[in-house]
Amino acid sequence: MIWKKLTIETSVEAVDLISEFLNENGAEGVLIEDNVPLTDDELKEMYVDVPLMAGEDDGSAKVSCFIRTEEDALRIKDLVLEEMNRLEEFLPVGNKNIMLTDTTDDTTWNDNWKQYYKPFRLYDNLVIEPVWEEYPDKKSDDKVIKIESVMAFGTGTHETTKLCLGQLDKYISECVQKNGSEGPSVFDIGCGSGILSIAAVIMGAGYVHGLDIDPQAVDSSKINAEANGLSSDRIDFSCGNLLSKNFIAEKMSDEEAEAYKKGSLGSGISTPLTPAEMVDLSLGGEDSIPARQYDIVVANILADVIIPLSGVVRDYLKDGGIFITSGIIEDREDDVKEALTSNGFKILDTVHMNEWVSIVCTDSM
């Protein structure tokens, strides 16, 4: 479908008001562009898997939106100009230039990111390679992960992903050496684009199940698995949430549950919450793949998810199984370790990369 794109040149001070105005008047896909740098604290709190690019912050900004028909686009353009003239009495609104352009077919929007994603080498013999560009210096013994879709988290470039890949390689190899030719089973919780799941198969896992609360992530993972020629008997993905019916929700009083709903992630944290409560338990649904136990469970998420997850994940581990965690900022390392040990895990390994941590543990009972 060909859409109309409305681009409004304005100021940083006005972007929120203009964005809300566009939403109220039926615009879709509102996009804000500015060069305001993130603070150090904001960067530490973010899980960013693609490079951040920034220019000079001159106070200007652009707000864009997409509209189905030219008639609606012209109507909204006039309304926006009128609103900016009104706002100008109270705050800077920039130069008020408003441009109306045609987009190409909307299927090409999903391809624009490809120009920024290049093949790269993660380790000595592990290469991440998008299907549209071959890695120039491949070796004969390289393990290559093909990527076709990264419309969800997971390109393999972030430290947390690299930490997980290193630990997966180590513990899959140990399982293969211990059990012979039969590769271990792996459960990838929060699979994103399926990078870790696919890597686990390539590293020797016998069967891998990737789970995510986001249907788009599941679709992305399936596309990438197909790009690597992997069938569902080796790797499968499903949409679900292990925390949707867990001990945190069951222990909450009605008052606590109501406070939680008001302050849960997705609507902005507006009430004091413990780390374990900072998980939106309502997201996702029942997993469509029957529950089973795995040799290795990997969760490359965030500390605030791993903490409550440590209370339920043992049900998915075989006796003596390995639980690999990552996505943990250094400031939360002790919190995660405390949650793991209090839920019956024994810490086996802790690896740092810059400000990120991966903690590996096993069932100590």
CATH number at residue 65: 3.30.70.330
Mean pLDDT per block of 10 residues along the chain (365 residues) reads: 83 88 82 69 47 61 86 91 91 89 61 67 79 84 82 59 90 87 89 91 93 85 93 89 56 45 30 34 54 91 89 91 93 94 95 92 81
Q: Is the same domain home to 99 and 174?
A: no
Specify the number of domains making up the chain: 2
Which residues does 186 contact at the CB level (< 8 Å), separation at least 6?
Answer: 168, 172, 197, 200, 205, 207, 208, 209, 294, 295, 296, 297, 298
The Cα–Cα gap between 66 and 76 comes to 11
CA 98 to chain centre: 33
309 lies in some domain:
yes
- What pLDDT was estimated at residue 310? 92
Q: Residue 209 and residue 10: Cα distance in Å, rounded? A: 47
Host domain of residue 305: 155-244+283-363
Q: Are 55 and 166 members of one domain?
A: no
Residue 266 belongs to some domain of the structure:
no
Domain termination site, one of 49, 82, 107:
107
Selection from 91, 67, 85, 90 nearest residue 7 by Cα: 67
Q: Are residues 172 and 304 in the same domain?
A: yes
Residues 26 and 102 in one domain: yes
131, 79, 160, 152: which is closest to 336 by C-alpha? 160
> Do 173 and 322 fall into the same domain?
yes
With respect to residue 306, please indicate whether it lies within any of the assigned structural domains. Answer: yes
CATH of the domain at 340: 3.40.50.150
Q: Is residue 63 part of a domain?
A: yes
- Quote the CA–CA distance of 5 and 148 in Å, as a whole number: 27
> Do both 354 and 229 map to the same domain?
yes
Q: Are 97 and 182 members of one domain?
A: no
Model pLDDT, residue 200: 95
- Output the pTM of the full model: 0.64
Here the contacts of 333-342 (C-beta below 8 Å, separation 24 or greater) are: 333/357, 333/359, 335/275, 335/303, 335/307, 336/303, 336/306, 336/307, 336/310, 339/276, 339/306, 339/307, 339/308, 339/310, 339/311, 340/310, 342/310
Q: Are residues 201 and 314 in the same domain?
A: yes
Q: What backbone phi and psi angles, to 5 degrees, belong to 95?
A: -85, -5
144 falls within a domain? no
Same domain membership, residue 177 and residue 293? yes
Give yes or no: residues 202 and 55 share one domain: no
| Structure letter (DSSP) for residue 354 | T
Q: Does residue 235 sit within a domain?
A: yes
| One domain for residues 164 and 233 | yes
* 221 shares its domain with 302: yes
**What's the pLDDT score for residue 114?**
65
- Let me know if residue 207 belongs to a domain: yes
Residue 250, domain member (yes or no)? no
